[in-house]
Structure formats: structure tokens, C-alpha cells
Structure 1
Amino acid sequence: MKKVGIILGIIWFVALGLSTEVCAQKSFQPKQIDDPWKGIIYRKESTADFTITGNGYGLAFNTGKIVTYYKTHYYHFELGYMYDPREQRQNRNIPISFTKVSQSFRFGKQNHVYVIRAGKGTKKLLTDKAKRKGVTLGYNYEIGPSLAILRPYYLELVYNFEEDGRFYNELRTEKYTEQNAAKFLDFNSIFGGTTGKGWSELGFVPGIQGKLGLFCSIGNFEKYAKALEVGLMGDLYIKKNSYHGRNRSDQC
């Protein structure tokens, strides 16, 4: 009888242990509680963006006042650079001495064009975001002044001349003018480009600029804004900015 009691006791202990383990594996779904506090409502926002267009690029800073969840009024400040899409960087690789070799240049370029833009705009949201990691669509528009800063583009040109019955070649660093237009746009007369010249000869052309964009914003009630934007932009100046003469193929 003692042996049986011991065996039954062991079986009861083991059964109790298994029962406890099974009970521990049970789970239940708690009732979901909606948190009325969705996040922090901000009154102001500041953003920085980098823009790439078909004829330039720019770096901008924006500061705005959030009027409602769906609307923000902002001010835009931008520094950019414009170029002609036809420009091609090339190098004739002409050595003139052991220490001087031709530098690369852009054929037909007349001016570097830097742009300062400012504007006042409005940003509007079209959809709501999810509570966590939501995505929303919206659009913005702005208008304001624009200032083009022209810096002359210099080339090293080859001049051939005769002196005392001997022929010489001379390099002259020149910018584009009506007087040297034929030489400046003659590919065979170009030795190469230069760097760092023209800063004392800046020209200024005022105008206006405008933008219209569609953006996709990521996150809801986030401290840092994240968005991707595509759209249209344009600059209108009081006179034509001559930053490119003509293509090499135009010489034919």
C-alpha cells in the first residue's frame, strides 16, 4: 500500500504540474482603449529643402505658421543656380608646357547665373493621416520676388600673330562680348576654361517667381517633418539672362 500511495502521489504531482503549465499558456485579448490625446499640436514649423529642376538646383529654408491642421502659411527663402540644359563639360587636353594643361570648359556659356528667391505661400492638406506612421497628400503654392546674379564666364582663347617674320601663339583670358563673339564661339580657338574670375563684374536682374507643388508627407504629429514634393516653378525677369550663346552644332 505504501508503494501505491507514493506512485499515486507522484502521478498527482506531475498532473498538477502539467495542468498549471497549460493554464499558463492561455491568453486573452484586452479591450482596446482609444487615447483621446493624439499628439502635440504645433503652432509653427521650419523646414529646409533641396530642389532639382531641369535647368538648375537650389537650397531653401521655409518658416511657417500653422493656422489649422489642414492649412499653413509660410515664407520661403532660396539660393539657387541656373544653367542651360545644352551645356556640356568638355576638355581639349592641350598641353602648352610641363606645368600648364588646358582646363575643362562649357562651350558657348556666357554667364554663371545665381538666383536668390523669396516668396509667401500656403500649404494645404487634402487627406488625414493614420495615427501611426500615416501618409497624407497636399499641395502648396507661392509667389514672390526673384533676383538673378550674373557672373561673366571666362575662357582662355588662342590668338595667332606674326612678328618679325615669325608666327606666335598667345593665350588671352576673355569673357564674351559682341566684339570677340566670333572668337569666343570658335571651338578651335578655345584653349580651355578658367576658375574664380568675374566676381568683381557682377550684374543684377530683378524679376518674380512662382511655384505650384504636390507633396506627400510622412508621419503624424511628428517633431520632424518629412515630405517629398513634385511640381512646377518659373522665374520671369525684366530682361533676358544670357547664360548660353549657342551649340557647337550651330556653327555648321
Structure 2
Amino acid sequence: MSKLKLILPLLFIFIYFDSFSQREDVGNYEYDKEILFGINKNTNGGLIGGFVFKSGTRIDDSQFSFWGIELSNVKNPKEARYNTVLGNSYIFGKSNYLYAIRPHYGREIILFKKAPNQGVQVSALAAVGPTIGLIAPYYIEYAVSRVQTVTEQYDPEVHQSRFNILGTGALFQGIGQSEIAFGATLKAALMFEFGVFRSSATGLEVGYMLEGYNKEIPLIPTTENNQLFQSAYFTFYYGFRK
């Protein structure tokens, strides 16, 4: 019985590594197409800066073309979060959200290819594209008296006491009243891909992005607002290749 307890785990380990070694895409990293999904963190965003979709196609041995789309929430650097007397949180002075929709096209050049079954593939990439900015009102719940509250867009001329702010509106409240700003985005980055199989990809993109709009975006009316934004970012990717 004791020998059986020892043999069974060894048998499972052998089967696992045997099936692993028989996969055709182990150590073979040649691929022609890829589809990647990513979660972004950047210096103009919150805990999660946005979400990314990317599709690439091989041009030659070391070069790919790709297109993609990115959805992000852009913040003013001076935004600060406070707690209310009810324990809710809000951003004092914030009047609008900026949701950026960024379709883009770019090129990727492989700088260092991955050795079989080990190492990291390193690529340099650049992309450019139009930007559609949705300027959505930022709603707060405000106590106008001891028995009455209102939920409306923050206005520094009306909501002068931050102690009367009880919380924020519902998620995406007022999105239907959004204004649109048009612009363009340019980004450059390094991509580090450390997947084991050809058929799947796991990687990290680290880069710089410059984004400009056709007008100033009034995120916080009482401070400096910009129509040009720049940020450093990193994006975790996972996807599929063939």
C-alpha cells in the first residue's frame, strides 16, 4: 500500500510532463496572426486605466502590423478622493468624466526573439489613430437642507460646501448628456512576451502615450484643464496566436 501511494503521484507527474512535451507548439514561436486582450494602468487613470483589444498580422520574419481599440477613463492629475459623512467617496471639484475611445493602427518590430522553451521576446512598437472623447457629467448627491437632497452635476458656484456632499451618482449616470471631443493619439512602447506556447500569448507592454483634443476638457473647472494629455502606461496582455 505504501508503494502504491508513492507510485501514483510519480505516474501523474510523468503523464503531465509527457503530454506537455508532446504539444506541437512547445518551443515553436512562429506565428502569423495574433489576437490580444489587455488591461491597462496609466498615470492618467485610476486603479484600472482601461481595456485594450489588439489584432496583429505578420509582414515578414521580424515585423508585424496591427490594429486595435482602447477604452479608457482619463483623469485630471489634481483629482483627489474624499470620504463623506456617510462613508461614501467622491472627487471634490470634479465636474466631468472623460472617456476616451482610441482606435489605432501601428507596426511592431521584434528586437529579440525567444529561445526555445525559455526567455522573453522583446518588440518595439508604435501606433497612431483618432480619438473620440466622451465628456460626461460627474454627478454628486448634495444635501440642500436637513431633509432634502439632490443628485446633479457638480457646479463650483452651487456646491460650495464639500461637507454637504453625500456621495456620487450612479455609474454612467448622465452618459446620455455627454459632449464629444475629437482628437488623435500617438504612442510608442516596448512589448515583453513570455508565453510558453505558440498558440497563446502572455505579455507586458510598457510605453508612452500623447493624446490631444480639439478643445479643452473641463474635468475640474476650478483648476487648470488641458486639451493635451501625456501619460506613461503598462498593459497586461493575454491572447491567442496561429
Scaled by the length of structure 1, what TM-score is found? 0.68
- In the other structure, the counterpart of 1:187 is 162
Q: Secondary structure at the match of 2:176?
A: helix
CA distance in 2, matches of 1:41, 1:222: 7
- In the other structure, the counterpart of 1:116 is 101
**1:152 equivalenced with 2:137 (yes/no):** yes
- In the other structure, the counterpart of 1:138 is 123
- In the other structure, the counterpart of 1:65 is 57
- In the other structure, the counterpart of 2:214 is 238
- In the other structure, the counterpart of 1:85 is 77
Relative contact order, CA 8 A, sep 6+: which one is greater? Answer: 2
CA distance in 1, matches of 2:59, 2:67: 14
Q: Secondary structure at the match of 1:105?
A: strand
Gaps of 5+ in 1: 1-37, 94-100, 161-167, 248-252
**1:106 equivalenced with 2:84 (yes/no):** no
Scaled by the length of structure 2, what TM-score is found? 0.71
**1:46 equivalenced with 2:35 (yes/no):** yes
Check the 8 A contact 1:55/1:85 in 2, yes or no: yes
Partner AA of 1:172 in structure 2: V
- In the other structure, the counterpart of 1:129 is 114
- Name the structure with the higher strand share: 2
- In the other structure, the counterpart of 2:18 is none
Partner AA of 1:76 in structure 2: G
Inter-CA distance 169–231: structure 2 relative to 1 (3 Å threshold): same
Which of the two has higher C-alpha Rg?
Answer: 1
Q: Secondary structure at the match of 1:144?
A: strand
Check the 8 A contact 2:110/2:124 in 1, yes or no: yes
Check the 8 A contact 2:190/2:205 in 1, yes or no: yes
- In the other structure, the counterpart of 2:151 is 173
Give every structure 1 segment of 4 or more consecutive aligned residues whose post-TM-superposition deviation is greater than 4 Å: none
Aligned residues: 193
CA distance in 2, matches of 1:40, 1:138: 14
- Please point out which of 39, 55, 71 is paired with 2:44: 55
Deviation at 1:114, TM superposition (A): 1.3
